[in-house]
């Protein structure tokens, strides 16, 4: 009898473990914002808005669909680290190659070290985890549930990335280019989430963080030329 019930008890406790990773992760980012007076007040408001959105999504996800809790229990730090490293290295090599071809040399960008450290910390602790949680995990699942009765559940995840694009459209001064790029990236992050129930969410968060930081390294040099060619 005890051998039969032991695994079930373990499974009932296990779904809570994902929150013990994600919630402190977000709270550490919040403390960084509050304690670091060098961050612009408007930026602080943005980060707090993300934190509130992420917290609400955690609550809504658990109330609407109990399976959300079970999936969040699989959130792991190792996939985040591995995909973050892979994205950083891959994007750096790709952008460096493009810059060398276009400019004939690799140009370095100048930035305030403290501001850049804040940006990196906030990207890893808040921006990438929360945005991925909201736009590539919770909203797609809620959208899929709503569209299931109409037989359109297969496109719920893709339609959800439009919200990801609209979010960036508003955040980046109504830039159409930013919106389109965000939709395409959102589809990629969503594909990573769907690729594995064990490591997909953590890996997507890592890829998201790696992209944001890598792009910022080239924002003064190569990126405007690329976007200028698109627009």
CA dihedral 83, 84, 89, 95 (to 10 degrees): 110
- Per-residue pLDDT of the chain in tens (231 residues, 90 and over written 9): 444 444 444 344 444 555 556 667 777 777 776 676 566 666 777 777 777 777 787 777 777 777 777 777 778 888 999 999 999 888 878 877 776 776 665 555 555 667 777 788 888 888 898 889 889 988 888 887 777 666 666 677 888 888 888 888 887 777 888 889 999 999 999 999 988 888 898 999 999 999 988 887 765 444 444 444 443
**Containing domain of residue 23, as a range?**
2-230
Q: How many domains does the chain have?
A: 1
pTM across the whole model? 0.76
Burial of 216 (0-12, 13-18, 19+ CB in 10 A): middle
Tell me the C-alpha to C-alpha distance, in Å, between residue 23 and each of 58, 123, 149, 223: 9, 15, 33, 33
């Amino acid at each position: 009898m005890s051998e039969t019930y032991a695994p079930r008890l373990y499974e009932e406790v296990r779904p809570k473990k994902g929150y013990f990773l994600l919630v402190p992760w977000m709270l550490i980012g919040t403390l960084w914002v509050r304690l670091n007076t060098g961050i612009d007040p408007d930026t602080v408001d943005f980060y707090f808005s993300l934190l509130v959105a992420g917290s609400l999504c955690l609550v809504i996800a658990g109330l609407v669909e109990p399976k959300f809790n079970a999936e969040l229990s699989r959130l792991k730090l190792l996939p985040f680290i591995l995909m973050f490293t892979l994205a950083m290295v891959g994007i750096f090599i790709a952008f460096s190659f493009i810059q060398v071809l276009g400019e004939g040399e690799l140009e370095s960008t100048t930035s305030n070290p403290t501001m850049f450290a804040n940006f990196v910390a906030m990207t890893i602790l808040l921006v990438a985890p929360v945005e991925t949680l909201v736009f590539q995990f919770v909203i797609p699942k809620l959208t899929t549930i709503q569209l299931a009765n109409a037989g359109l559940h297969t496109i719920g995840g893709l339609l959800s990335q439009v919200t990801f694009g609209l979010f960036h459209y508003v955040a980046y001064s109504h830039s159409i280019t930013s919106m389109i790029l965000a939709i395409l990236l959102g589809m990629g992050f969503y594909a990573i989430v769907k690729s594995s129930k064990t490591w997909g969410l953590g890996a997507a968060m890592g890829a998201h963080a790696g992209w944001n930081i890598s792009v910022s390294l080239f924002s003064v040099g190569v990126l405007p030329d690329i976007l200028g060619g698109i627009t």
